[in-house]
Amino acid sequence: MSAGEGYAKPLPTVTHEDREFWAAAREHRFVLPQCRACGNVWFPPYASCPSCLSFNRGWTEASGRGTVWGFTIMRQPYIGSFEPELPYNVVLVELEEGPMVYSNLIGIDNADIACGLAVEAVFEDATAEITLIKFRPV
Ligand SMILES: [Zn+2]
């Protein structure tokens, strides 16, 4: 399957900064950039450490566990390809390792989503190249 074939929603553009992240996601692994100078872990995967600005970046396996820090329910079709899924949720998950990640929560009614809810990562193969990381209640 070529990029985007059969998948109507927007897909991320892979860059030199996040290529390793998307490659790991394709293998259903959740990795986070980690600074080899100070140990900081961050997301999204910028090339340099937002704490000490070092470019000496490695990768660490994330547990995939976190808690819902905030969320909203989308009820308007701001992006046309999302219209069939209305109303859908957008959550901000605070990972066990500290960084925050925007995603969607699956396997739960929108009315049951609450801040502090324990969640874990799941992998959605959008295309042959792109696997999205979503979350579900633990
Ligand atoms: Zn650092």
Q: Which domains does the chain have, with CATH numbers?
A: 14-61 (no CATH), 63-138 (2.40.50.840)
Question: pLDDT tens for residues 18-48?
Answer: 999 999 999 999 999 999 999 999 999 999 9
For 62, what's the count of Cα atoms within 13 Å in the CB-facing half-sphere?
A: 29
Give, rounded to a whole angstrom, the gap between the first and last alpha carbons of the chain. Answer: 32
- Residue 12 CA to ligand 1 center (angstroms) comes to 26
Q: Angle at CA 134, nearest 5°, toward 129 and 136?
A: 145
Mean pLDDT along residues 42-71 = 97
- Residue 6 CA to ligand 1 center (angstroms) comes to 40
Is the model's pLDDT at 2 over the cut of 50?
Answer: no
Is the model's pLDDT at 114 over the cut of 70?
Answer: yes
Is the model's pLDDT at 3 over the cut of 80?
Answer: no
- Residue 102 CA to ligand 1 center (angstroms) comes to 23
Please give the pLDDT value at position 124. Answer: 97
Bridge-based pairing state of the strands 57-61 and 31-35:
antiparallel
Please give the pLDDT value at position 6. Answer: 79
- Residue 59 CA to ligand 1 center (angstroms) comes to 12
Residues whose CB is under 5 A from ligand 1 (ion)?
Answer: 35, 37-38, 40, 49, 51-52, 54
The tokens describing 82, both together, are 């999302």
From 118, 104, 101, select the one nearest 74 (Cα to Cα): 104
User: Residues near 82 by Cβ (< 8 Å), separated by ≥ 6?
Assistant: 9, 74, 88
Give the span between the Cα atoms of 12 and 91, in whole angstroms: 18
- Residue 68 CA to ligand 1 center (angstroms) comes to 26
- Residue 56 CA to ligand 1 center (angstroms) comes to 8
